[in-house]
Structure 1
C-alpha cells in the first residue's frame, strides 16, 4: 500500500482500533491460479504474537482454503471513507488551485494463513467471534443458545482460519496535508452530510 508520511499510522493500539472498527475484512491470497479474495468478519486476538492474530472462518464450499497460498495472505480492513469536495476548502476562494480527493482509513495485515477444520477449534473461533459482535446488544445471543447437535452440523459446513500477523500497514488519510482552515472546512462539509460514513469521517479529521 502506498502510504505518504503524512498519512502513515504506526501506533499498534491505533491500528488495532481501526481493525476492530472495520469488522469486515477482505482476505486475499495469491495462488497458482491467481489472486483470490473473500469478504470475512475477522476476530483480532491482540495479545497473540507481536502484532496480534486474526481468526475467522470460510464456507467449506469456498475454494480459497483448498488453494495453497503463495507466500503470506493479506487481510484488508477499511474504515470510514468520504468524497472531499474542493468547494469546502477556504483556499479555493483564494487561488482556486484545489482538486477533489477521497478521505479514508485502511489497514493491511500480512501473515501466513492456516486453515483448519478441527471441531473444537472451530467452535472456539465461532464462539469468540459471535461474542465480540453480540456483546453490545441488550440481550446478546450466544452460540450455546442453539441446540448442540445443530451447532455441530453447522460447523461441518465451514473451515476455520488463523492468521498470525507478521506485518501491519496503516493509512489514515483525513486531510492532514491541508491547512487548518481547509481541514475545518472539510470537517464541516462532511458533518452536514446525510451519509453516515461521511459524518464518521468528519469526526476523524484533525482540527
Structure 2
C-alpha cells in the first residue's frame, strides 16, 4: 500500500491539483479562480464553482482595502480563528467580532433582536472596518443592507455567505442592488468556513 502523504505543503499542492483536474473545462479569471478553488479546498464541495457570485468590482475592491490595512468585521469567532494571522500582521489588518461584547448582549436582551444585528450596528461606527464577512447570520446581512440604504455604512466589500434554511438565500439576494461590491453564495449553502476561505484567498493574493 502506498504510504500516505505527511507533508502539509505537499498535501495542499496535491489537493489543488486534484481540484483543477476535477473542475475540468470550468475556467475562471485568475483571481476568481484562486477564491473558488480555496473554497472548494476548504469544503470539498464542487458546487461552489457554480454558486459563488462575484460583483464585477469585488476583487479589485477587496485587494485595495486589504493592502491599505483596513479592518474586517466577521460575524463569528470561527472566521477569526481560521484567518491566516501571519498575513493579517504583515498588512496591519485587524479582524473583529462584537457579538459577545457586554453592551451588545445587554441591548439584544432589551430590544429582543439578535446579537448579530446589534453587533453589526456597532461595527459600522468604526470607519476603518471596510470589509464585512458574514458567514452565519442572515439577520446580520439584512441589517447591513438596511444601514447601507440609510447611509450609515458604505463598505468596500461584502462577503455575504450565511448558511441556513431561514433567510439565508434571501439575505444574499438582497445585497445585489446596493451598489457595493460583494461576493455571495447563491442559495442555502455557505458558512464561516467559506467566509474564512475567501478572506484567506485574498490575503494570499496580496
Q: If the TM-score is normalised by the length of the shorter chain, which range does it land in?
A: under 0.3
- Normalized per residue, the structure richer in strand is 1
Bigger radius of gyration, 1 or 2? 1
TM-score of the pair, normalised by structure 2: 0.22
